[in-house]
């Protein structure tokens, strides 16, 4: 294959793997249009509202718990198939469930799908990508998340307005799903990308680094020929074999030096990125918009603006992560994200609402999308050795979901108890912590192959 064909092939399979991120974003954001009608239909209190939203995050933790080990044992590609299947079943099950307890069950299943995808999709992309493009290609996964979030907002807005335009008598399954109980239809839409994900995975190759770990060298070489070209394939395979032959171990190895230091770095940065409150803004967007003085009927529209801003700013991260480097992006992004959240809190505190409030939140999304959002995936997928990378990344991603669960469980209580302004001040504090920790501990890894990074750090 020519270099141009190699590049196109890499981008193509990256986009397919990144569909896991799209479904992650869609599934997590679609609930923003579901919360209010579910609260009304089932009479949920603030704590029950928090439980309804956060139960999916418990599923995420469960999905991560088995996917890391499983991806190291049966391969990255097969575990991505499991994620696609869980996305599909949960979308159908949630849409047609009438009992509240069954709704919770399928939300947990959807969370498991998100947990698997959030772990294995960026891991697969990092192992298939050439070193000089890895930062950008892994950031494609974060872009897919933001596009999924945006599509969920657009879908919710369209379905809500369509239902409002067709209120009145009607019958049939479609009327029940998309008019009478439009929140069910909002969730059912996920069937389309989930089916596409499952079908497209049929043409995706297995990770060459995983294949080498299990002695399937010829298959690994065949994949490398497609991704790097004939000249580079032999060199890269030799490097992979050299590193793979020197390392053996299991989960307990992560608890010993030097890997324990790398694990601490990745998990702390991951936790702090989520304690910035990003998913609180995504999940509870309409209620935040209402608190900002925006009427309920326009809340989903303004949330679309936030989703669009998040997507556009992530594109900037893709363009700059391999030229500017991980460390500068992380430091500047986390510092200015803290300042943006501080400004948002002061807006709420002083009764400043409307477009100025929206602008402050957009500023936060800008700096989050440049740093805390994508770089946690880039860093965690490139600093660990291949033979234990799946397990190590699963620990980092589980940390992400535990942090998210904590934030989303407490957000309604903090909002109603401490006030929305204090809640944003707390989020700002964690962004500031992220800045100081990264300044002290984060090293630069741009432009290096996974094997070069392993020799440098391990």
pLDDT tens by residue, 108-121: 999 999 889 888 89
Task: List the single range of 115-124, 209-218, 244-253, 395-404 with lowest mean pLDDT.
Answer: 244-253
Residue 298: its pLDDT value, please?
59
pLDDT tens by residue, 44-100: 777 777 778 778 878 888 888 888 778 888 989 999 999 999 999 999 999 898 888
What domains are there in the chain, each with its CATH number?
A: 3-204+247-457 (1.20.1250.20)
Residue 342 pLDDT class (50, 70, 90 cuts): very high
Residue 202: its pLDDT value, please?
93
What's the whole-number mean pLDDT along residues 20-42?
A: 84
What's the whole-number mean pLDDT along residues 263-289?
A: 80
Q: What is the DSSP string of 95-127?
A: HH--SHHHHHHHHHHHHHHHHHHHHHHHHHHHH
Residue 450: its pLDDT value, please?
66
What's the whole-number mean pLDDT along residues 140-149?
A: 85
Residue 294: its pLDDT value, please?
59
Peptide bond preceding 258 in cis form (omega within 30 of 0)? yes
DSSP state of 31: G
What's the whole-number mean pLDDT along residues 25-39?
A: 83
Query: Is pLDDT of 363 > 60?
Result: yes
DSSP state of 443: P
Q: How far is CA 416 from CA 126, 288, 349, 358, in A?
A: 41, 12, 14, 20
Any idea what the Cα angle at residue 296 is, between residues 415 and 403, rounded to 5°? 35
Query: Is pLDDT of 171 > 90?
Result: no
More confident residue, 424 or 277: 424
pLDDT tens by residue, 180-225: 888 899 999 999 999 999 999 999 999 888 898 888 888 988 888 8
What's the whole-number mean pLDDT along residues 425-452?
A: 85
Locate tokens 């750090």: which residue? Answer: 457
Residue 223: its pLDDT value, please?
87
pLDDT tens by residue, 323-339: 788 888 889 999 999 99
Residue 193: its pLDDT value, please?
94
Burial class (CB in 10 A: 0-12, 13-18, 19+), 231: exposed
Residue 314: its pLDDT value, please?
80
* Mean of per-residue pLDDT scores for the chain: 82
Query: Is pLDDT of 244 > 70?
Result: no
Locate tokens 């009304």: which residue? Answer: 40
Residue 336: its pLDDT value, please?
92
Residue pair 331/441 in contact by the 8 Å Cβ criterion:
no
Residues of the chain with pLDDT > 90, as a percent, come to 18
More confident residue, 120 or 135: 120
Helix-strand-coil split of the chain, %, nearest 5: 85, 0, 15
Residue 357: its pLDDT value, please?
78
């Amino acid at each position: 294959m020519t270099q141009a064909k190699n590049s196109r092939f890499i981008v193509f399979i990256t986009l397919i793997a990144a569909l896991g991120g799209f479904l992650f974003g869609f599934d997590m954001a679609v609930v923003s249009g579901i919360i209010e009608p579910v609260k009304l239909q089932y009479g949920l209190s603030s704590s029950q509202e928090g439980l309804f939203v956060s139960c999916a995050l418990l599923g995420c933790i469960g999905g991560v718990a088995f996917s890391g080990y499983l991806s190291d044992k049966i391969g990255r590609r097969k575990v991505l198939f499991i994620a696609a299947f869980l996305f599909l079943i949960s979308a159908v099950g949630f849409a047609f469930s009438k009992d509240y307890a069954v709704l919770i069950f399928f939300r947990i299943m959807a969370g498991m799908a998100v947990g698997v995808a959030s772990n294995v999709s960026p891991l697969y992309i990092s192992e298939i990508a050439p070193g000089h493009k890895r930062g950008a290609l892994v950031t494609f996964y974060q872009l897919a998340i933001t596009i999924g979030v945006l599509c969920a907002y657009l879908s919710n807005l369209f379905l809500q307005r369509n239902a409002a335009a067709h209120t009145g008598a009607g019958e049939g399954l479609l009327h029940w799903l998309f008019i009478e109980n439009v929140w069910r239809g909002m969730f059912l839409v996920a069937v389309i990308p989930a089916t596409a994900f499952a079908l497209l995975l049929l043409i995706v190759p297995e990770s060459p680094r995983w294949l080498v770990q299990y002695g399937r060298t010829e298959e690994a070489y065949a994949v490398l020929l497609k991704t790097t070209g004939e000249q580079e394939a032999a060199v890269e395979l030799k490097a992979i074999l050299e590193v793979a032959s020197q390392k053996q171990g299991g989960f307990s190895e992560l608890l010993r030096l030097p890997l324990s230091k790398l694990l601490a770095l990745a998990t702390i940065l991951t936790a702090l990125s989520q304690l910035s409150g990003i998913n609180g803004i995504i999940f509870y967007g309409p209620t935040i918009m209402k608190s900002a003085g925006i009427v309920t009927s326009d809340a989903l529209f303004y949330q679309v603006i936030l989703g669009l801003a998040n997507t556009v700013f992530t594109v900037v991260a893709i363009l700059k992560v391999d030229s500017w480097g991980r460390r500068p992006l992380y430091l500047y992004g986390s510092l200015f994200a803290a300042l943006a959240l501080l400004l948002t809190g002061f807006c709420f505190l002083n009764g400043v609402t409307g477009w100025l409030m929206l602008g402050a939140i957009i500023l936060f999304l800008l700096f989050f999308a440049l740093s805390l959002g994508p770089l946690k995936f880039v860093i965690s997928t490139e600093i660990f050795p291949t033979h234990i990378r799946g397990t190590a990344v699963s620990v980092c991603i589980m940390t992400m979901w535990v942090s998210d669960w904590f934030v989303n469980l407490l957000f309604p209580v903090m909002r109603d108890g401490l006030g929305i302004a204090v809640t944003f001040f707390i989020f700002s504090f964690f962004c500031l912590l992220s800045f100081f920790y990264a300044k002290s501990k984060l090293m630069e890894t741009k432009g290096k192959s996974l094997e070069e990074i392993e020799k440098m750090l391990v």
